[in-house]
Amino acid sequence: MLAVEAGTAEFIVHEEGRGGGHRVRLTGASGAVYHYLHLGTDPAHTRDAFPLEFADASDRRVEVTAGLVIGYLGHTGGAVASGIPIPIPARAAHLHFQYHPLGAEGEDANPAHLFDLIDAGREFDGCVR
């Protein structure tokens, strides 16, 4: 997973009984917040959830640049999709990605337009293209 925008990343280790598994919360320079959830495959270890340079970064914030690898696909956190036409099988690698354009307290929004802008090769708010 790439940092969509330059900003501050928090690497959060899976906590038993709490959804989301290993995850990264990225607060972009624009104030938008991005959540990357269900990273890695082993709830007890982060070795395949985060790049080595961030493996011990839990409980601290790290400045990152747009386009930097900050995590890897996985299925931690009890991730099973339901309510969609084709359910995701249990333990299938996937990404739960949330985009909150107005910050952590703001509602989440469909991130599809971010990728439309990236595909068009246009820069927006310092985000990677």
Q: Give the predicted TM-score (pTM) of the model.
A: 0.81
125 belongs to a structural domain: no
33 belongs to a structural domain: yes
39 belongs to a structural domain: yes
What's the pLDDT tens digit per position in 54-69?
987 777 899 999 999 9
Residue whose entry in the numeric block shows the structure tokens 């340079």? 53
Q: What is the pLDDT of residue 82?
A: 59
Mean of all residue pLDDT scores within the chain: 82
The domain total for the chain is 1
Contacts of 125 (CB under 8 A, 6+ apart): 5, 28, 29, 30, 32
**Rounded CA separation 57/5 (Å):** 19
Q: What is the pLDDT of residue 88?
A: 64
Domain ranges, residue 29: 7-119
Amino acid letter, 128? V
**Rounded CA separation 24/49 (Å):** 10
